[in-house]
A and B are shown apart, each in its own frame.
Chain A
Amino acid sequence: MSPKGNPFSVHTPEDITASEVVDLFVDVFSDFYNVPNQGNTFLHGPRGSGKSMMFRYLEPDCQLLASKQETLRNLPFYAVYIPIKNTDLKLTELERLENKHANVVLNEHFLAVFIAARVFASLRDRANVENLSTEHAQSFALFLAGPLGKLLNKAGLTKPPRSLPKDRKISTNLQWCIDVFDDLCSSVVNYLRRLSFRRTALTYTGPLCGYLDFLLPMLKELRALPFMPRGPIYLLLDDADNLNETQTRILNSWVFCRTSADVSLKISTQLNYKTFRTATDQRIDSPHDYTEIDISTVYASSRSHYYGRVEEIVRRRLKRHQLPENPTEFFPVYAKQERAIREIEASYIAKWRETGRGNRPRDDAYRYARPDFITSLSGPKKGSSKYRYAGFEQLVYLSSGVIRYFLEPASRMYADAQATGDGGPITHIDSSIQDTVIRDEAERFMVAEFQKLSDEEAEPRHAGRFLQLRNLLHALGGAFHEILISDKSERRVFSIAFSDVPDRDVLHVLKLGVQYGYLHEASIGNKEGTGRTRMFVLSRRLAPFFMLDPTGFAGYKFVTNSAIKEAILRPKAFINSISNGELLEDPPQMSLFEQDAPPKSDNGAEEA
């Protein structure tokens, strides 16, 4: 039977069953190969970019199902999912300990026992250990009475609050461990509760569990049990931005220990990680201490990979709901518009020998047909018809490398199609529905959401930055539109690269844009060919707002710091200058129709 509901609705991966995860998950690990491999990894990406789903897929229940294995032992690693919710660990009371020695010690204990509780909860809920042999269950019971008991004792828990279970059932013993670590967490909170309104020190007499002296040896012992995988234990800390600064530094200290052969730390962030310094203020560095992945940069830079991933994700979701599986048929293009574009393409191909600019007949057709069509709608006929953002390929481009930005609008489109349909199954989404939803989304992103972010900035000096960012986005979007409808040889432009060094103020505004997903950052060879320079790419989600063509390869322009200052302060004047052919420079080495070496993003992926 097919599941009811919207095939594109987004759920928290934590709540999805293993079979659903395995059904829906598209293996993206060839793009992010460091995630499932041994080693510490930071995985950065905005909310909805698929981090939690990746982590959920690594959990043992999914791994067993995906690899059709019966026993944990055959898995290459054991991954424990540890979501960090906002106020789980970041309790206000902890601020009482700031600038006191106990701060690091108690926060580390809190973090360690929090994780330990999750490890045993994972074994209970995700590892299918119910059917372990008596011998294996016995080994776990011995682990409790032996190594774990000794470590707890060494940490100061001389008398466990709960006596060891009498029976050897693994479920009973696991629950004992969970209860012990839940209790230890509660004890920390109880201590903090007493600290709430005290301005003087309060003696802490409870146990103290650190990483090197407790959590690591405990996990090593656990790893050594005969039913556990031979590979390392992965601790998947999701949304580590929600740790307070001390906890962040402690986690970095663990990364610094480089214990990944036994315990690999996989840390996801929403691009707001507080610091890369340790508790002793040392900096952790990539690649020595960890590898680092920024999902949006990878996908903004490698669109062909991204397209394939989204196609597969959509295909699986449609299949699960017993709907037509072909994404391009489910999200059809606007046929009339595509016919008109094909006609323009044909005329470019026909006149290529006489007036063509590209090396091959299709080059001109590909580069100019769609921009020409958009231009034709910007003239005197403006308002009578408009370009439709429709068709699976365009929707993928418009999601700008973040799967959530495909699924959420798709979910709305599906709901709208149901609301306007005849009650029968939805076999496709009409192009007008696609266009309406996608334009709404772009408008919401650029207007309402931007306003919300701006409102959230309490610091007046930062509020000015949002105004500057808005100006910059309008200037870039407006300028790229002017270029699109011009007769320039390269009309699809979404990026700027600096021909000199951006100053601190300009960089601050650009970084703000990156932080909130309006821009992506990459790097590219500089004008002189002597090194690399910073590049900023406008999010394709904004294409409908500025009437840009989101499809295909897009070029970039070199700018100076002073030109971007002009854009920030006087966006209209900036756009006028662009119309007059000023301020932006073509990449000098770029022969537009030759297959130049594509720009590289920071991680070496192709920029397109």
Chain B
Amino acid sequence: MPHTKTKLSELSDTLRQRFDIFICSASYEERCKSIPNAVADGGKVGKRLVCFNQRSSAVVTSNARQLLERLGSSAQRVPLDKGNPLATADNLQRALSQAGADDGDQSYLVDITTFTHESLLILLRLLQARVGRGLVLLSYSPADEYSIGLPDEEKWLSKGITDIRSVLGYPGTTRPSRKSHLIVLMGFETDRAERLLDEYQPHVVSLGFGKEGTATAAKHHRVNQLAFGQLANKVSKYNEFEFSCVDVAAVESVITAQASKFPECNVVIAPMNTKLSTVGVAGAAFRNEDFQLCYASAAQYNVEGYSRPGDTCVLTALSAEYWKEGANI
């Protein structure tokens, strides 16, 4: 699945076709507006769905309102609920149907930048059931800086965990007689990953670390490396692996390979790195029903200084292969 990087200012021109449905998500991050702003004019997108977490701060609601205004009167608001994945799924499903997604030939441009990992995974599952011959192009706008202004070792994006749950649509296959294998794709959030390990107490732990040169920026790689080191110090025994932070197909293949090293285990995967790597994890789960995906919902986000928008955008086209169901490993 090739991905291309482009300037946001050139995004509209870069898009070679018109997309029937554009989906984006408002958040407290300023960069939630980057891609919608770039495609609002120019006639490259048809129906527009603006998702937003209805139980978030006033900033999110305000940004959602701005996005709706910017994307024009036909833009539709899609309330998501970060505490209730069923409501999120139902509202997304309803909005997709209203936008005509049940007709399998629609094409999609999805701005995955500021979806939560859980909402993104649910959206992908819903699209999997609807995508036919139409193209699905993912767009992602990397931040110029995360946790603005803090030194690398103090950077944080979220704190605490309110709940750990399986992601709707990815329940895995519970075989009680088997041992458990937890695969964590580490991001910046050591605390959340540590809590996850503490809660699961898996028999086998695999800690994934973003491969050098694949992060959306080299400086993000350094922060990720620090977080990985912090967690690795606290875990007595783990298996280490590397994954690409941007190549969806490569993530899928590395996750599948990591899981196959312990074939007699139930597999639980926690995608906590980039959104593109989360898309790769979803692909792995599409073809391996046995993989359960889990999500640790954060108690608090760095609302004030989560990120500073960048001026680029990464585009990834998802091929028809990506959506295919597969045999279990």
Contact = CB atoms under 8 A, between A and B. Distances in A.
Contact of B168 (A88, A93, A120): A93
A553 B292 CA distance: 51
Interface stretch (B33-41, B170-178, B216-224, B251-259): B170-178
A270 to B, nearest CB: 10
Interface residues of B, number: 41
B166 interface: yes
Contacts of B125: 196-197
B310 to A, nearest CB: 28
Nearest to A178: B177
B98 interface: no
Contacts, number: 113
A334 B85 CA distance: 56
Contacts of B93: 197, 199
Contacts of A367: none
A87 B166 contact: yes
B300 interface: yes
B129 interface: yes
Interface stretch (A27-35, A387-395, A451-459): A451-459
A196 B236 contact: no
Interface in A2-35: 9, 11-12, 14-15
B292 A182 contact: no
Nearest to B199: A86
B150 interface: no
Contact of A197 (B129, B200, B299): B129
A92 B268 CA distance: 14
B174 A9 contact: no
B164 to A, nearest CB: 5
Interface string B285-329: 000010010100001100000000000000000000000000000
Contacts of B126: 197
Given A15-B203, A199-B90, A189 B177 contact: no
A90 B165 contact: yes
A120 B178 CA distance: 12
A360 interface: no
A92 B166 contact: yes
A9 B125 CA distance: 42
B44 interface: no
Contact of A9 (B159, B236, B268, B292): B236
B132 interface: no
B117 to A, nearest CB: 14
A185 interface: yes
A85 B300 contact: no
Listed residue (B85, B93, B173, B191) with the most chain A CB atoms within 10 angstroms of its CB:
B173
B173 A457 contact: no
A91 B89 CA distance: 15
B176 A458 contact: no
A457 to B, nearest CB: 6
Given A86-B199, A87-B164, A197-B126, A186 B175 contact: yes
Contacts of B174: 88-89, 114, 185-186, 188-189
B240 to A, nearest CB: 19
B175 A93 contact: no
A514 interface: no
A331 interface: no
Contacts of B171: 91-93, 189, 192-193, 196
B160 interface: yes
A120 B200 contact: no
Contact of B169 (A9, A87, A197): A197
Contacts of A457: 160, 162, 299
B201 interface: yes
Interface residues of A, number: 44
Nearest to B194: A452
B176 A182 contact: yes
Contacts of A456: 159-162, 299-300
Contacts of B175: 117, 182, 185-186
A363 interface: no
B86 interface: yes
A165 to B, nearest CB: 16
A74 to B, nearest CB: 26
Contacts of B294: 86-87
B159 A118 contact: no
Contact of A96 (B86, B160, B299, B300): B86
B180 interface: yes
Nearest to A120: B177
B26 to A, nearest CB: 20
Contact of B162 (A95, A190, A458): A458
A502 to B, nearest CB: 28
A96 B203 CA distance: 30
Contacts of A458: 160, 162, 299-300
A121 B159 CA distance: 39
A181 interface: yes
Contacts of A87: 164-166, 268, 292, 294
B167 interface: yes
Contacts of A182: 175-178
Given A95-B86, A196-B169, 19 more contacts: A86-B199, A86-B294, A87-B166, A89-B174, A90-B165, A114-B174, A115-B176, A120-B177, A182-B178, A185-B175, A185-B176, A186-B173, A188-B174, A189-B174, A196-B125, A199-B93, A455-B159, A455-B160, A456-B299
Would you list the 3 A-B pairs with minimal beta carbon distance, nearest first? A456-B160, A455-B160, A121-B177
22 contacts: A12-B201, A14-B203, A15-B203, A85-B202, A86-B200, A87-B292, A89-B174, A91-B166, A92-B166, A92-B168, A117-B175, A182-B178, A188-B174, A189-B174, A197-B126, A197-B129, A199-B90, A452-B159, A452-B160, A456-B299, A458-B160, A458-B299
